[in-house]
Amino acid sequence: MKNTALSDTHIKLNAKMVPFAGYNMPVQYEGINAEHETVRKAVGVFDVSHMGEFILKGADALDLIQRVVSNDASKLVDGKVQYACLPNEQGGIVDDLLVYRIDEKTYMLVVNASNIEKDWNWISKFNTKNVEMHNISDKTSLLAVQGPLAAKALQSLTSIDLAAMEYYTFQKGVFAGIENVVVSATGYTGAGGFEIYCDNEHALQIWNAVFKAGAEFGIKPIGLGARDTLRLEMGFCLYGNDINDTTSPIAAGLGWITKFTKAFTNDKNLLQQKENGVPQKLVGFEMLERGIPRHDYKIVDANGTEIGIVTSGTQSPSLQKAIGMGYVNTAYTKEGSEIFIAIRDQKIKATVVKFPFYKS
Amino acid sequence: MNFPTELKYTKDHEWIRIEGDIATVGITEFAQRELGDIVYVDINTIGKTIAKEEVFGTVEAVKTVSDLFMPITAEVLEFNKALDTNPELVNSDPYGEGWMVKIAIKDAAELSALLNADAYQSIIGA
């Protein structure tokens, strides 16, 4: 199992460590509910150094990216970030990712830890024009500083005007005395904040500086457990749960990042899906009766007939009710549709709601 | 971690407090720590007799769901209603206000197979 540059730091903070995507990662420190609230109301720091980063460089870098991703990366300008997925040829999704345009010929792709090798091989397969590809995952650390107080908590560490940064933009600059740190106004929590990419050898110095600067704002370390509840309250897909090699981006509600303005993997089939519809779609739902939905529970109608499957579920710490996401037959995708979740030997009533579950 | 010596334990991380023919059952401090924030305790076996090591309910933490196993063959008499509104009592006071069910013991002979605090602690390596 791999450690991040900060695994020892988490252990010293009494984190509960779990293996995740081959890394020894903190799942919680003081408790998921308390950590969740810290991010919603103040500011918290996640070590997400397990995430993968690839640099693609060269005159044909954009062409390669356009060929493999669903979104239209030609719309990017320097300093802009775009969410996209890598469709496969069978109608599913290889991974979801962020595309950073560093300059006209240089891009950074940020991919899920569990898919680093799969994505690398997938993209390499289409690299017929010798775009320079560098997998910098193992030497790159990533801290997500998330929450409404994130800009204030970090501002003393950099001359970049954090509060002025627009969502899904980034800047490279000096941060906590370290040069060439990428500060990105992105995140996976819906709470606002920044993601900070640095070399492993600087990770501890930056971590310590962030905690020192953030102390007066109540900054705390946050584990992957709260990362999951936070993203779920926003209705953000988690690869491996809500999307995978067999789920369609159109069915998953990722039509907004699937642009038919250019050619890419499986675009013809996906366009057909967009125009003709798909048999099931990913929806959010709230439980109306007591019970907590979990990945792979069946979704049934009033008669107990199977109409779908739960992909994610939890007790929402912010809303204090049980929420979930899952694929259901299109007849049940409208807001307010009555569905039931098969929990153990019972069917428990739920209602389809719009994303996000949590509105700030 | 705290493992009161007056209680008996199971390898499935339940504790049992025996008071004559009646007993109270909950989960251990180790179990609640492993589960994390508990958000729901679901007991749908009230009035039923459940065999030793069979499931009498489930406990849901934010991230996970875990079955609850009967330490001995018994009838489930009562559920701790306080857990309906405050399931986190299982975290804050696992041996006290976080108790889960009261049961009627069916076969006192089974009691001898339960673990004492020392034996339980050696199982979990505490």
| DSSP per-residue string spanning A153-204 | HHGGGBSS-GGGPPTTBEEEEEETTEEEEEEES--SSSS-EEEEEEEHHHHH
Q: Which runs of E-coded beta strand occur in chain A?
A: 16-20, 23-28, 44-47, 52-57, 81-87, 93-103, 106-111, 132-135, 140-146, 170-175, 178-184, 193-199, 220-221, 280-287, 298-300, 306-316, 321-329, 338-343, 346-353
Most B CBs within 10 A among A28, A33, A230, A231, hence the mutation to make, goes to A33
Is residue A151 pLDDT above 80, yes or no?
yes
Alpha carbon distance A251, A360 (integer Å) = 26
* pLDDT(A234) > 90: yes
Distance, in Å, from the CA atom of A27 to the CA atom of B101, rounded to the nearest integer, reads 30
Q: Model-level pTM?
A: 0.95
List, for residues A189-218, the tens digit of each pLDDT value. 999 999 999 999 999 999 999 999 999 999
Q: How far is A36 from chain B (nearest CA, A)?
A: 11
Chain A nearest-CA residue for B88? A33
How near does any CA of chain B get to the CA of A290, in Å?
A: 9
Distance from CA of A340 to the nearest CA of B (A): 17
The pLDDT assigned to A322 comes to: 97
Percent of chain B whose pLDDT exceeds 90: 98
Q: Residues A313, A224, A215, A157: what is their CA dihedral angle, to the nearest 10 degrees?
A: -120
Q: Which helix (H) or strand (E) holds B124?
A: helix B117-124
What amino acid is encoded at A306 in this protein? E
- How many of the other CB atoms lie within 10 Å of CB of A179? 10
Residue type, A307: I
Please indicate whether, in this complex, the C-beta atoms of B40 and A225 are within 8 angstroms of each other.
Answer: no
Does residue B16 register a pLDDT over 80?
Answer: yes
